[in-house]
Amino acid sequence: MDPSPQRLHQTRSRAAALCLAGLLLGSGITWLALSEETGVPSSDRARAAADRVRPALETALEDQGLALGDPVFLRIFKEENELEAWVRDEADEEGRFQLFRTWEICTWSGKLGPKEQQGDGQAPEGFYYVPPAAMNPHSSYHLSFNLGYPNAYDRHHGRTGDYLMVHGNCVSVGCYAMTDPRIEEIYTLLSAALKNGQPFVRVHCFPFRMTEERMQAAASSEWIAFWENLKEGYDYFEDQRTPPDVTVSTDGKYQFE
């Protein structure tokens, strides 16, 4: 699930091709301005957004002993309509992340449960990662980044679909949509971390906050076995405050290390 250096290189190459072939369709853009140093796509739009939000982001991060460019981890909760950004304190010897900010998700489509097939309108649930080339500064939805659906778990289970994003413009068909001001902050936070050397940003997408009480309430759902597997990764981070390395077992379950 989490990429090895070789797999990460292959993923970046594939993501770059996706950006050129698919992410820009309908936008009138036929090129990407890539940073030679980092491989993080850029554009006048992304730079203008960063100029708008950087001062306030830097101040808010500094207030928590953090800095723009520190490693970032995202969590998404459908039921609560929340996207969390966690940032790693580089001075923390154990590499723990601390909650920096929570944004309200403007809209997501479908219902609780995973995405299964192209066109079902479902927003994905699971464990994803965003390498530099998955950032799209020319999005038709202001700014966006590709979650990387389907991942290895999704492919194992025959799930289909593509171009599943977190983006602006507050409209969704299978994506997680933010308002434009919110996606500017999130995009700038991720872009700074990637430019500073973070190889990819993990994004964990959950149906809800996976407390024992909420899981008990969901016990009769058709997705309870899937959600119990997701909860293992949820609990790992809740306990360790560092996201786990995620793989997929031969019998098609998420594994956490």
* Domain architecture of the chain: domains with CATH: 5-256 (2.40.440.10)
Task: With residue 185 as reference, give the H or E element that holds it.
Answer: helix 180-195
**Quick one: pLDDT band at residue 90, thresholds 50, 70, 90?**
confident
Among this protein's residues, is 204 annotated catalytic?
A: no
Of 138, 175, 204, 205, catalytic: 175
Residue 137 pLDDT exceeds 90: yes
pLDDT tens profile 38-78: 689 999 999 999 999 999 999 999 999 999 999 999 999 99
pLDDT of residue 1: 58
Strands 72-77 and 201-206: parallel
Beta strands in 53-114 (DSSP E): 72-77, 82-88, 97-104, 107-108
Residue, of 8 and 57, whose pLDDT is higher: 57
Cα separation of 111 and 18, whole Å? 27
Contacts of 43 (CB under 8 A, 6+ apart): 32, 33, 137, 138
Helix ranges restricted to H, 19-99: 44-63
Half-sphere exposure of 95 (CA within 13 A, CB side): 7
Query: Residues with Cβ < 8 Å from 113, sequence gap 6 or more?
Result: 122, 125, 207, 221, 222, 223, 226
Determine the 3-state secondary structure of 109 from DSSP.
coil
pLDDT in the model for residue 12: 37
> Which residues does residue 205 pair with via DSSP β-bridges, in sequence order?
76, 126
Q: What is the pLDDT of residue 17?
A: 35
Is residue 175 among the annotated active site residues? yes
Percentage above 70 pLDDT, the chain = 85
Q: Which residue type, as a one-letter code, is found at position 255? A: Q
- The catalytically annotated residue of 138, 142, 167, 204 is 167
16 or 93: which carries more pLDDT confidence? 93
pLDDT higher than threshold 80 for residue 13: no
